[in-house]
Amino acid sequence: MLTVTGLTKVFKGTKRSAAVTAIGELDLEVNQGEFLTLLGPSGCGKTTTLRCVAGLERADKGEISIGGRVMFSDSSRTNVPPNQRNIGMVFQSYAIWPHMNVFENVAFPLRVGKKSMSKPDLQERVHRVLDIVGLGEIPARYATNLSGGQQQRLAFARALVIEPDLLLLDEPLSNLDAKLRESLRFELKRLQREQGITTLYVTHDQTEALSLSNRIAVLSAGKLMQIGKPFDIYLKPEGKFVADFVGNTNFLEGNYLGHAIVDTAIGKLQVSSTEGLREGQPCTISVRPEHIELVEATAPDQPNTFHGEIETRLFIGEAMDYQVIIGDTRIRTKGAGAIGDRFSSGQAIKVVFPVERCVTLSFKQ
């Protein structure tokens, strides 16, 4: 559906600042009906990529195709205007017309579009889309009288009413409070699945990316660091940046001894992945806090078991966050909250690193 090849965008420098490469030789594909998220920190190039796909920003090099039709190509000097790309777009600010009611806000793109529609057809399409997003009962309400969640639904409806080939979403939930944002993730996922809309989503929120996406593309400094399914991005990161940015993790530096054993500051660890490692080679191990097990000091040893002491604990409702000292190394772990075992600060315990969760990162930094 969407194909991006060798996309490059450089913002020219000034007398006081150097040129900035926002996107560097980016290759990307979004399949028909797929929800793909561009995830990364501020300044990584994700919004610039989205704006280039939309035609709001002109790339310097590369090619962009939507549905097999070339929208931009520096080699053929093609640059299709945004209003001719048949895309829907929702921004951080919903840009809703305050002097129009819900119906007129959604109808506006159809009224100004190239193809004229009969009044019955326009009304039927607008009401159908309003029903899809859950605003079918309030078509006459003015935008100024809508809640934040309703405004977001209205922005989605206006993007969907033109029946776009591609839906572009630029952090559309970021202006909502935490509880509303969480509930609307479910709504957005349901909407995308039921309508089969090909979607390119931009966010810096790892939870949004993991919960909404079919695949995630992690960007850093305009470069694609890893692309894959959410489970693979989280459980099999291909480098320290991805492991550190997507969720929380513990890094342990060491040397590979062979036979899936790494010598670290806390002792010898058996690991699950050794791809690209040679005996004697330095490497980094990533272990997520929730994968590390804390057990009583008297519990029998398992593989990858070490003696430690609880330094600090934090109760956060659904979980207990612990900082554990093993020798001179501080490890963060996360266990069950109110219903799980609880350990006290200063308590001696055993720390178990499950072999299958110890991921080496030396092959791609």
| 185-195 pLDDT per residue, tens | 888 888 888 88
Kindly indicate the confidence band of residue 255, based on its pLDDT and cuts at 50, 70 and 90: very high
**CA dist., res. 104 & res. 111, Å (int):** 9
pTM of the predicted protein model: 0.91
Q: What is the pLDDT of residues 290-332, one digit of tens each?
A: 999 999 999 998 999 999 999 999 988 888 999 999 999 999 9
Angle at 233 between CA 274 and CA 289, to 5 degrees: 80
3-state secondary structure at position 280: coil
> What angle in degrees, to the nearest 10, is found between the helix axes of 148-160 and 178-195?
20
Q: Can you give the pLDDT at residue 149? A: 87
Encoding tokens for residue 183? 């509930």
Comparing 223 with 17, the larger pLDDT belongs to 223
Instruction: Domain ranges for the chain, please list them.
Output: 2-240, 249-360
Q: How many CB atoms lie within 10 A of CB 336?
A: 12
Q: Can you give the pLDDT at residue 72? A: 98
What one-character DSSP code corresponds to residue 92?
A: S
Kindly indicate the confidence band of residue 339, based on its pLDDT and cuts at 50, 70 and 90: low
Percent above pLDDT 70 for the chain: 98
**Residue range 207-225: mean pLDDT, rounded:** 96
Query: Which residues lie below 8 Å from residue 250, measured CB to CB, with a gap of 6+?
Result: 286, 287, 288, 289, 292, 331, 332
With a cut of 60, say whether residue 365 has pLDDT above it.
no
**CA dist., res. 143 & res. 154, Å (int):** 9
Angle at 197 between CA 165 and CA 206, to 5 degrees: 120
What one-character DSSP code corresponds to residue 276?
A: T
**Residue range 94-111: mean pLDDT, rounded:** 90
What one-character DSSP code corresponds to residue 79?
A: E
Architecture of domain 2-240: 3-Layer(aba) Sandwich (3.40)
Cα–Cα distances in angstroms (integers) from residue 206 to residues 39, 146, 184, 211, 225, in the given order: 7, 28, 16, 8, 15
Kindly indicate the confidence band of residue 364, based on its pLDDT and cuts at 50, 70 and 90: very low
Comparing 13 with 81, the larger pLDDT belongs to 81
**Average pLDDT over all residues of the chain:** 92
Residue whose C-alpha is closest to residue 361's, from 204, 241, 228: 241
Q: Can you give the pLDDT at residue 362? A: 53
- Confirm if 72 and 51 have CB atoms less than 8 A apart: no
User: Which range, of 174-183, 196-205, 324-333, averages the lowest pLDDT?
Assistant: 174-183
Q: What is the pLDDT of residues 235-252, one digit of tens each?
A: 999 999 999 999 999 999
Query: Which residues lie below 8 Å from residue 315, measured CB to CB, with a gap of 6+?
Result: 337, 338
Q: Can you give the pLDDT at residue 177? A: 84
Where does 249-360 sit in CATH, by number?
2.40.50.140
Q: What is the pLDDT of residues 14-56, one digit of tens each?
A: 778 788 999 999 999 999 999 999 999 999 999 999 999 999 9
